[in-house]
Structure 1
Amino acid sequence: MAALLRQGARRIGGAVLQRTQVAVTSPAVAEERRRLVARRMYSTKKQITEELTRKIQQKKEELYDLMLKAEQSIWTSSFSNKRLLQLLSVHLKPRPGDTKWQLMCLSKRAINAFEIAGLVALSSLIISAGLGFKRLVGERKLIEAMVVEDMRKAEAALVSPD
């Protein structure tokens, strides 16, 4: 019984091994492997980077178009989708005939301007509050010094009976 099982396993294993060897040595697989190795060997980092950049730009364009279609439906419209559309619109190649694209670019630039204005206003508030605090600390030290001086004069007047 064990001998029959071993023999069956050898036959099945051999058939699988023969099929994989045929697939590995088939002309189509060999040609694809040769092209892949040649492309990896002869392409520079710059070419690879350019190809990746082109693919990323293409995906941005596709995502923008898909989200714009979804945004036109009330059921899929959301604030976060609009923000992402605004962000993507700035990264796309110019579309002068597309009014939606122009509106998204304009709104993104307006939001950027408001964010910068808010940061400037907040920075000026922080600086003015810091300067005011510094002035208060300086005045407090001055008052403390005056009090200490008055106390020394009072002690000196009590100690010396002139």
Structure 2
Amino acid sequence: MATATALRHAATRLGGGAWAKLLPRRLVHGGARPAAADGKARALNLIKQKREELFDLIADTERRYDTRLTKEGFQNARMLQQLAVQIEPRPNDPLWRSKRFSKLTNDFLGWAGACVAGYMLTKEWLRSDKEAAQEKMADSACVVSNN
């Protein structure tokens, strides 16, 4: 950016306006244009609406057909859990409440399991270091007593 500015300034000083027209102009406004910001808001609202529609479609399919023990059924259940925490709250919908609760419970249990596993591995590692140090001390004590 600084190089382009220096080149533009040098071209203006040396060659006049003809060279300056060939070089790119400096950006005065760095923010997004209002039309782009409006398009972004429209796209985000469309995504939000599609999430709601997808949740309703999968929920309706799960209610109508028994897909619990199929691959698609498991994938749909996971998708419902993911969407339940991303859509607008529906406190009167029992399916939304159960899927949201199961998603939050799964997340909590995943983190808790990782913490417990980390604790257990660290504890085992520290205990093995302590036992190795005690064995080393016992071996050195035997060597000293033999001399």
TM-score by length of 2: 0.64
Cα offset, 1:147, TM superposition? 3.1
Bigger Rg over Cα: 1
Unmatched segments (≥5 aa) in structure 2: 1-31
Q: 2:98 aligns to what?
A: 103
1:56-78 CA-to-partner distances (Å, cap 9, x unmatched) read 22221121111112212114762
**For the residues of structure 2 that align with 1:125 and 1:42, how far apart are their CA atoms?**
55
**For the residues of structure 2 that align with 1:133 and 1:80, how far apart are their CA atoms?**
42
1:67 pairs with 2:62: no
Q: 1:50 aligns to what?
A: 41
Cα offset, 1:150, TM superposition? 3.4
**For the residues of structure 1 that align with 2:138 and 2:52, how far apart are their CA atoms?**
66
Q: 2:123 aligns to what?
A: 128
- From the two aligned structures, give the one with the greater helix fraction: 1
Cα offset, 1:100, TM superposition? 1.2
**For the residues of structure 1 that align with 2:143 and 2:91, how far apart are their CA atoms?**
74
Residue type at the aligned position of 1:143: A
Between the aligned residues of both structures, percent identity stands at 26
1:87-117 CA-to-partner distances (Å, cap 9, x unmatched) read 1100101112222111211221222222222
Q: 1:17 aligns to what?
A: none
Cα offset, 1:48, TM superposition? 4.1
Could you say if the C-alpha distance between residues 130 and 49 of structure 1 is closer, same or farther in structure 2, counting changes exceeding 3 Å? farther
Residue type at the aligned position of 1:131: L
Q: CA RMSD in A?
A: 2.4
**For the residues of structure 2 that align with 1:145 and 1:54, how far apart are their CA atoms?**
73
> Is the partner of 1:94 in helix, strand or coil?
coil
Cα offset, 1:85, TM superposition? 0.5
Q: 2:113 aligns to what?
A: 118
**For the residues of structure 1 that align with 2:34 and 2:110, how far apart are their CA atoms?**
47
Could you say if the C-alpha distance between residues 149 and 60 of structure 1 is closer, same or farther in structure 2, counting changes exceeding 3 Å? same
1:81 pairs with 2:73: no
Aligned residues: 112
Which has the higher relative contact order, 1 or 2, with Cα contacts under 8 A spaced 6 or more apart? 2
